[in-house]
Homo-oligomer: A and B are copies of this chain.
Amino acid sequence: MSTNKVIKEVEVYCREHGIRFTDQRRMALEIIASSKKPLGAYDVLAEMGKEVENPKPTTVYRALDFLLEHAFIHKIESLNAFVVCHAGHSHEGSQFMVCDDCGKVEEVHLCHLPKDLKKKIDDTGFQLTRWNTEIHGTCNRCQP
């Protein structure tokens, strides 16, 4: 999905939900959405630095927190890096295939927790709020 399309959709979503989509937030989202690979917070910071004077980590992390909270982006925990959401709707679970060769990440997106996991969780009385699966390996483009 094109960066413009992502921005447009988030714009609409925010307007409809009375959420403020400020310049900093838009800028951070644009940067992440235009990247082919996950970006670290300080990568985003560096990119921001090309458009505004000397931005600070706090600024970036605040924008990231906002974007995460509304699930416009996700954090790849094993990389400390961020990607734009490609599922098109808010979801409590995220799944990613991470290529350790080229560094690209693809969001898989299952709407529901797999049955066998769900069962184990229900059995223990655990109350789920969110879940995340990160699958590492080699993408098909990077194989011999």
Contacts and interface: CB of A to CB of B under 8 A. Distances in A.
A132 B134 contact: yes
A23 B137 CA distance: 33
A139 interface: yes
Interface residues of A, number: 34
A132 to B, nearest CB: 5
Q: How many chain copies does the complex carry?
A: 2
B117 A140 contact: no
A3 interface: no
A112 to B, nearest CB: 9
Interface of A: 77-78, 95, 97, 99-100, 106, 108, 110, 113-117, 120-121, 124-140, 143
8 closest residue pairs by CB, A with B? A114-B114, A125-B140, A77-B77, A128-B137, A131-B135, A133-B133, A127-B138, A129-B137
